[in-house]
Amino acid sequence: MYETIKTEQDGATFILTLHRPQKRNAINKQMQAEIFDALMKVRADASVRAIIVWGGPEVFAAGADLSEMRGRTPMQQFRPFNSLQVGDIWGAVASMLQPTIAAVSGIAVGGGCELALACDLRLASETATFGQPEINVGIIPGAGGTQRLARVVGLTKAKEMIFLGERIDASEALRIGLVNKVVPVGTLLEEAKAWAGKLSEKPPRALQLAKLMVDKGYDLELGAAITMESLSFASLFSTKDQQEGVSAFLEKRQPLFTGE
């Protein structure tokens, strides 16, 4: 069905694999459209409780396909923020209801690094490298890199990476908080599946609200954010999963969450 990506569902985990090996998974317009289509199909699928995005063991994504950028006008490149705008795979990934995991092996630069940043969690192999090299071709990150990177690693480190346009390795990415964990390349996908499996066992509605509160509350005044958190907290008391969670805890058994 798709030419630039592969998709599969493993239990409750949806795995999206970038697949342009001859171009080191450079993100072109076709790949953007196919990723967007695949994500929209599983966005409201209750059988999907976690999503893994990866590019295989050799490379995550070598940024945008620069051959498509030559000769483009400013308005052709402008992308106002709209997470459901066709082709905005970065906004789409960030707004998925399910938690998303980037499993990064090899290079993740430019739009590839931004795709990893759009995910909720990031696992890296020992071969992973990250960078925002856009400055070296006369532009800046244009798919959320200047904003999401700063929110993840802080202003000082984000400016260093963006201004210098140099890559960092997996150990440095772990040190600055860009990734959650570094594992051997041969175990990366299995580690991501293990994390996804743990997430799949959590109550879906509570997980969705936890994600929403962290993402949206970050930009609000503290009092407003805590009020929003309290409302979300209270709303979960109407769910069967909340009742199941409390009952399981009191009865000293494992809960079985259904998403209701």
Look at residue 92 in the predicted model and tell me its pLDDT.
94
Of the pLDDT bands very low, low, confident and very high (cuts 50, 70, 90), residue 164 is very high
Q: Please, are residues 80 and 144 in contact by the beta-carbon 8 Å criterion?
A: no
Look at residue 119 in the predicted model and tell me its pLDDT.
98
Q: Please, are residues 109 and 129 in contact by the beta-carbon 8 Å criterion?
A: yes
CA of 213: how far to CAs of 37, 49, 95, 100, 207, in Å? Answer: 26, 18, 12, 16, 10
Look at residue 78 in the predicted model and tell me its pLDDT.
52
Asked whether residue 80 carries a pLDDT value surpassing 80, the answer given is no
In the block, tokens 């931004």 appear at 114
- Active-site annotation holds for 201: no
Cβ atoms within 10 Å of 201's Cβ, excluding its own? 13
Q: Please, are residues 49 and 14 in contact by the beta-carbon 8 Å criterion?
A: no
Look at residue 70 in the predicted model and tell me its pLDDT.
58
Domains 5-200 and 204-250 belong to one CATH topology: no
% of residues, the chain, pLDDT over 90? 82
Q: Which CATH number fits domain 5-200: 3.10.290.10, 3.40.50.300, 3.40.600.10, 3.90.226.10?
A: 3.90.226.10
- Boundaries of every domain in the chain: 5-200, 204-250
Q: What is the third-level CATH fold of 204-250?
A: Lyase 2-enoyl-coa Hydratase; Chain  A, domain 2 (1.10.12)
Exposed e or buried b per residue across 77-98, where buried means at least 16 C-beta atoms within 10 angstroms of its C-beta? eeeeeeeeeeebbbbbbbbbbb
- Active-site annotation holds for 114: yes
Question: Which residues on adjacent β-strands are paired with residue 52?
Answer: 15, 101
User: Which of 134, 229, 244, 251 is flagged as catalytic?
Assistant: 134
In the three-class reduction of DSSP (H, G, I as helix; E, B as strand; rest coil), residue 210 is classed as helix
User: Which of 114, 172, 229, 251 is flagged as catalytic?
Assistant: 114
Question: Cα–Cα distance between 177 and 161 in angstroms, integer?
Answer: 14
Q: Which residue has the higher pLDDT, 78 or 107?
A: 107
Asked whether residue 175 carries a pLDDT value surpassing 80, the answer given is yes
Asked whether residue 74 carries a pLDDT value surpassing 60, the answer given is no
Asked whether residue 76 carries a pLDDT value surpassing 80, the answer given is no
Q: What is the mean pLDDT of residues 36-64?
A: 95
Instruction: Among 96-100, 120-124, 215-219, name the one with the lowest average pLDDT.
Output: 215-219
